[in-house]
Amino acid sequence: MGTIIGAGASMLREDDVSTIGSGAEATTADVDFDVVVVGAGFAGMYLLHRLRGLGLSARVIEAGADVGGTWYWNRYPGARCDIQSVDYSYSFDPELDETWKWTEKYAPQPEILRYAQHVADKHDLRRDIQFSTRVESAVWDESTSRWQLRTSDGRTITSRFYVMATGCLSMPKEVDIAGTDRFAGEVYFTSRWPHEGVDLSGKRVGVIGTGSSAIQSIPIMAAEAAQLTVFQRTPNFSMPANNGPIPQEKLDALAKGRPQYREAARWSGAGVTVEISTTSALAVSEEERLAKYEDVWEHGGIIQAINSYMDNLVNPAANELLCEFVRNKIRATVNDPETAEALCPKTFPIGTKRLCVDTGYYETFNRPNVRLVDLREHPIASITETGVDLVDESLEFDVIVFATGFDAMTGAIVGVDITGRDGLTLKQAWSEGPKTYLGLMAAGFPNLFMITGPGSPSVLSNMMVSIEQHVDWIADCIDQLRADGLSTIEPTPAAVDGWVQHVNDYANITLMPQANSWYMGANVPGKPRVFLPYAGGVDRYRTICNEVVADDYLGFERRGPDGQRRNDGVVRRVQPDVQLMLEAMAGMNLPTMDSMSAAEAREFSNAIAAQRAPGPDVGEIVDGVLPGAAGDLTYRLYRPASPGPHPIVVYFHGGGWVLGSHDSDDPLCRDLCVRSDAILVSVDYRHAPEARFPAAADDAFAATQWIAENAAALGGIPGDLAVAGWSAGGNLAAIVSQLARDAGGPRIVGQLLLTPVTDCDFSRASYTENADGYVLTTPLMHWFWNHYADPEDRTSPKASPIRAETLADLPPAMIVTCEFDPLRDEGAAYAEALAAAGVPVRHLPCRGQIHTSLPAVDMLLSGVPIRAEMAAAIRGFFTANVPA
Ligand code: NA7
């Protein structure tokens, strides 16, 4: 048997194993395969098909007695998909797509299971699937570069590759209610519903849980049972399925060409082609908004609802409008106002828990035999022999149904005892939450793949699209390894850490982490609270996966008899919202400013500034004039809404001494004013090339002196000032601090330098690393300097403050630098130099941000914590709370 994977490399053929496909007792000795797959749901089935196509030996191990995975187990009454069936189906076999006819928009579970069985028949899959068997442990054997698996039938199987196709919602959550085992009546779990069905007629039934499974099954159980009591801990948002025949527009779209339709789904955000709004819910009239919501309610599904406005999942105010619309639907449907109100979700934004679709769920509460128990008002004390004891009432039942959910996304994976390299178990490696690269692999676990694993779009997408993408990626990867004479693949720790960070960064610019959802692991007591799926979308995710491959498997180490290939790296380091902004700008094909005249560049930057979000409201804005070094300068004063007098910050705008105005930095000044509760006086200064060095510095200092003298008249607290500025404005703030020190006043208590220019030296690494692609380019910095100062002037401390004779006795400083900024290293160098001179300084390096991130208020959510820290620094300056 060969050491390299490939056709003919396996020890055994399928006819060596008597039990395959028969479910009979295993009698064979150890066996070896190229690939062992756990799970014969839609993921495992398609993977088997692909592996066979590559001529690899593969075995699927499945706990159930047939194919279907989640659709094999979840047989509760009313179980259906919540993505339309024509979308929730395989695309890999066009013939299948043509011949299988779905009977309904959302097919019921038996039909979906029949579909899975039909695919298994058509592709003769069962002969390589061992049913009614579990993998109990999997251990990586470094000496043979193989996985050693122990199965529930007592057998040991070895394989080169091991794939967990175990599904995201397959491990039922353990019941965490006291006394559950005492109940003497019938007990059922929606996730493990008896195959022969359950007769509820004439029975008193209690259902615990109001997630998707409960919401689908409750109307049907209510119609059959004598009495139905629903125990609700957290109400969920649900919208009508409006089930029926496949909608005409869907049929029309398919008729235009299935391959194109499928391809569009692959490159959509959620794996389903829907209209994506580019409008804010807050930007339209109430009438227009309600009409849109109504349309989605009547004709759409969960993905349409989430995408009805662009900011539904990022802006709490926009989200609340949709929440209230749904609540009003509940109130209009449920007759008893108290029950209606109890059914209205109020503790999490809509869409941050899986939005449900139902058929008559809310109407069910108008039935005389149905009662809702709000567990927040009347908690369960325990389950008893005869029913459920609430803290204030005892209820008797013949049947209790647990619809209590799953240990989602990680439960089934860590449920198998998996030990990787050096004895590390996956449970240990994931003790603080799953750590994967692309949701496909984990460091220390060579040749272990996951399909739709944590860190991939998975449950936030049409699972079929995500399954097919993962299967294809894995199959292609194994094929490529074989072609390259390599036998193992594993992500590097840095790639994994970078991906985990990126997954979190994406979640954190949405409202998703605000809910106690199974997306967050919050439904399982003791499970780490980590956002599990990737919120960046199917399209972006697919691009990333393709990029990784095109970049010679970036972030992976591959080994084989022919050697080792380690291509360490992080695939996405820019903050996701910054990336979106960069992509949007790239799509606009904007001209580069360094190819323009100063006047053209000003016009261009003013036009860009006019399109930005306006920033928050402040108490008052006053425009005025003050004397500069050589004539009047305009200023704009931002006053907080709180009663004054306030401390004053003198602010200098950015723009490379050539561009910019009060307007350009207006949103940032508003934001800093509101957050710091200080007055900001944004001061203009003469611009280059009309007024070259040292005009800007002289104006900045003159303005600071005037503001100090007129502090009381401006409504400020006289005596102490802080200075602040962004970019070239940061340069001026640093210089003003030095000039004030040298002149013996005004007294400056702090300097907030945001990505400042501190030196005229272009040799620092950030000038090369970030030369292009992050808005402020190295050529543009050259252009700015050329406009502003002659080479012999640039080394003056009035242009390059880092070159001052001494930096001692300067005011405490906060210096903010951005990772992808040509100015990053000179900002960091100034922070170091100040610290070396004994100045209290805090350097805040901003991961994944670019030079223009800081003033992009209300556009970049990832900038919010940074601006909060900047404002805290301002407050600290005035309370002598020197930044540490
Ligand atoms: P879910 O959506 O996790 O729902 C589980 C429900 O059970 C939910 O309402 C829970 O309330 C409730 N629950 C769980 N534990 C308890 C205890 N101890 N006491 C009271 N209530 C409890 O699972 P589903 O099976 O309905 O749906 C899973 C996914 O399948 C769904 O999202 C679709 O994608 C398909 P909680 O919200 O935690 O307060």
> In angstroms, rounded to a whole number, what is the distance separating the alpha carbons of residues 520 and 533?
9
DSSP designation for 325: H
How do residues 449-491 score in pLDDT, each as one tens digit? Answer: 999 999 999 999 999 999 999 999 999 999 999 999 999 999 9
Q: Which helix (H) or strand (E) holds 620?
A: strand 620-628
Ligand 1 proximity of 523 Cβ (cutoff 6 Å): yes
Residues in contact with 302: Cβ distance below 8 Å, sequence separation at least 6, in sequence order: 82, 83, 239, 354, 355, 356, 357
Contact by Cβ (8 Å): 787, 859? no
CA–centroid distance, residue 523 to ligand 1 (Å)? 7
**For ligand 1, atom 33, which residue shows the shortest CA distance?**
212
Name the pairing type of β-strands 238-240 and 841-850: unpaired
CA–CA distance, 673 with 638 (Å, rounded to integer): 7
Q: The tokens of 517 are what?
A: 């959802």
> 304, 334 in Cβ contact below 8 A?
no
CA atoms of 625 and 636, how far apart (whole Å): 9
As given in the structure block, the two tokens for residue 340 are 């209606």
Q: How would you label 209-225 residue by residue, b for 16+ Cβ within 10 Å and e otherwise?
A: bbbbbbbbbbbbbbbeb
Q: Where does the pLDDT of residue 300 fall: very low under 50, low under 70, confident under 90, or very high at 90 and above?
A: confident
Q: With bands split at pLDDT 50, 70 and 90, how would you rate the model's confidence at 882? A: very low
109 CB within 6 A, ligand 1: no
How far apart CA 419 and CA 792 sit, in angstroms, is 64
211 lines ligand 1 (CB under 6 A): yes
Q: Which of 109, 213, 460, 514 to mutate to test the pocket of ligand 1 (most atoms within 8 A of CB)?
A: 213
What's the gap in Å between 368 CA and the centre of ligand 1? 25
**Among 828, 643, 797, which Cα is nearest to 732's?**
797
DSSP-assigned letters across all residues of 431-447: TTS---BTTTB-TT-TT
* Residue 220 half-sphere exposure toward CB, CA atoms < 13 A: 18
Q: How far is the CA of 521 from the centre of ligand 1 (A)?
A: 12
- Is the CB–ligand 1 distance for residue 130 below 6 Å? no
Residue 588 has pLDDT above 80, yes or no: yes
Is residue 312's pLDDT more than 70? yes
pTM equals 0.93
Per DSSP, the three-state class of 371 is strand
Query: In 3-state terms, what secondary structure has residue 207?
Result: strand
Tens-digit pLDDT profile for residues 432-451 = 999 999 999 999 999 999 99
Residue nearest to atom 20 of ligand 1 (CA): 233
* Residues across the chain: 884
Burial class for 179, CB neighbours closer than 10 Å (0-12, 13-18, 19+): middle
Does ligand 1 come within 6 angstroms of the Cβ of 234?
yes
pLDDT band of 8, cuts 50, 70, 90: very low
| Amino acid identity for residue 858 in this structure | D
Instruction: Give the span between the Cα atoms of 750 and 721, in whole angstroms.
Output: 8
Collapsing DSSP to helix, strand or coil, 260 comes out as helix
Helices and strands (DSSP H and E) totals, the chain: 27, 29
- Residue 213 Cα to ligand 1 middle (Å): 8
Find out whether the peptide bond into 349 is cis, omega within 30 degrees of 0. Answer: no
DSSP type of residue 182? G
* 23: pLDDT strictly greater than 80: no
The distance from CA 835 to its chain's CA centroid, rounded to whole angstroms, is 37
Q: What is the pLDDT of residues 860-874, one digit of tens each?
A: 999 999 999 999 999
Distance 210 CA to ligand 1 centre (A): 6
Burial category of 168 from C-beta neighbours within 10 Å (exposed 0-12, middle 13-18, buried 19 and up): buried
The alpha carbon of 522 and the centre of ligand 1 are apart by a number of angstroms equal to: 11
For helices 42-53 and 463-483, what crossing angle results, to 10°? 30
Residue type (1 letter), 646? H
As a whole number of angstroms, the distance between CA 154 and CA 134 comes to 10
Give residue 17's pLDDT band: very low, low, confident or very high (50, 70, 90): very low
- Evaluate: CB of 659 within 6 angstroms of ligand 1: no
The owner of tokens 């803290």 is 391
The answer to whether the beta carbons of residues 447 and 160 sit under 8 Å apart is: yes
Q: List, as one string, the DSSP characters of 518-555.
A: GGGTTTSTT------S-TT-HHHHHHHHHHHHHTTSTT
Protein residue with its CA nearest to atom 16 in ligand 1: 404
Mean pLDDT, all residues of the chain: 94
Token pair recorded at residue 784 = 């700015």
Does ligand 1 have an atom closer than 6 angstroms to the CB of 668? no
Closest ligand 1 atom to Cα of 210: 9
Which residue out of 112, 212, 356, 376 has the highest number of ligand 1 atoms within 8 Å of its CB and is therefore the one to mutate?
212
Nearest residue by C-alpha to atom 38 in ligand 1:
523
- Is 80 exceeded by the pLDDT of residue 13? no
pLDDT in tens, 807-839: 999 999 999 999 999 999 999 999 999 999 999
Residues pairing with 374 in the sheet: 232
- CA 355 to centroid of ligand 1, rounded, Å: 12
